[in-house]
């Protein structure tokens, strides 16, 4: 369940490890690679790399993947995700931008499909230096056969070049996974809000370096520290 609840319904967000997505898609031919490492106070660890490129399929479509190596409760696992995103309403010359993304994930050890997601991001450009993103969507936990509603809201504030403050709150709504007779029930933290706030340093237009503090980001009531590097070309 922990691996499924780390599914990137959040996907590319403000870029990198942030969970709340924006509505934008780049121009055809543009590519990026977002990578990050997260460590929790309960000794859980997650390492991710996520490449993506924009191709013209009638309209620009961002096609990407995500490889994740993680340790949860002392057990290591590996997962992979294929995902796509399109922009339906560009934010330029409109009061808001609208997009849609979706994907499916697999356990790379067993080869089993672990679920999928659909996310609808809405972006509001409040000021030239402030943006608000609101998300709603669906997440399927296939091993436990549970459908979740997903939600999130975040902001990006480029208060001084080259620094951007990014904060977000997000989560899922649905029933808890069933527990076996000899196991403790899963913690309700799975359904409790998850938060992240971080500082993004952009020394070059094509490079971001992120330092992020998070709480409960995998539904386990731990504090997380994340370091990320995002490259665009």
Q: How far apart are CA 24 and CA 129, in angstroms?
A: 16
Q: How far apart are CA 198 and CA 181, in angstroms?
A: 41
- pLDDT single digits (tens) 200-218: 999 999 999 999 999 999 9
DSSP summary character for residue 179: -
**Rounded to the nearest 5°, which phi and psi values hold at 17?**
-85, -5
Q: How far apart are CA 224 and CA 222, in angstroms?
A: 6
Helix (H), strand (E) at residue 15: none
pLDDT above 60 for 172: yes
- pLDDT single digits (tens) 114-129: 999 999 999 999 999 9
Residue with token string 């403050």: 165
Confidence of residue 133 (pLDDT cuts 50, 70, 90): very high
- pLDDT single digits (tens) 215-233: 999 988 999 999 999 999 9
Residue with token string 């990006």: 156
Residues 6+ apart with CB under 8 A from 81: 7, 8, 65, 66, 68, 103, 104, 105, 106
The 3-state DSSP class for residue 4 equals helix
Q: Model's pTM, two decimal places?
A: 0.92
How does DSSP assign 142-176, residue by residue? Answer: TTTTEEEEEEEEEEEEEEETTEEEEEEEEEEESPP
Q: How far apart are CA 221 and CA 42, in angstroms?
A: 9
User: Are the beta carbons of 156 and 172 closer than 8 angstroms?
Assistant: no
Torsion sign across C-alpha atoms 113, 28, 18, 75: positive
HSE value, Cβ hemisphere, 13 Å, CA-based, for 48: 28
């Amino acid at each position: 369940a922990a691996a499924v609840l780390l599914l990137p319904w959040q996907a590319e967000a403000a870029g990198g490890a942030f969970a709340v997505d924006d509505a934008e898609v780049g121009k055809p031919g543009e590519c990026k690679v977002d990578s990050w490492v997260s460590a929790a106070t309960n000794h859980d660890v997650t390492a991710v790399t996520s490449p993506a490129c924009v191709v013209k399929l009638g309209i620009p479509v961002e096609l990407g993947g995500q490889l994740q190596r993680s340790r949860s409760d002392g057990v290591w696992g590996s997962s992979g995700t294929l995902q796509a995103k399109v922009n339906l309403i560009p934010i330029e010359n409109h009061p808001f931008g609208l997009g849609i993304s979706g994907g499916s994930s697999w356990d790379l050890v067993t080869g089993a499909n672990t679920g999928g997601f659909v996310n609808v991001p809405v972006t509001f450009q409040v000021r030239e230096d402030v943006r608000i993103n609101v998300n709603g969507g669906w997440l399927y936990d296939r091993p436990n056969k549970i459908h979740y509603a997903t939600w999130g809201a975040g902001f990006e504030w480029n208060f001084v070049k080259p620094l951007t403050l990014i904060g977000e709150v997000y989560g899922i709504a649905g029933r808890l996974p069933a527990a076996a007779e000899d196991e403790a029930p899963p913690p309700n933290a799975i359904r409790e809000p998850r938060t992240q706030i971080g500082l993004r340093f952009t020394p070059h237009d094509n490079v971001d370096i992120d330092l992020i503090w998070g709480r409960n980001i995998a539904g386990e009531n731990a504090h997380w520290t994340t370091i990320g590097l995002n490259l665009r070309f």
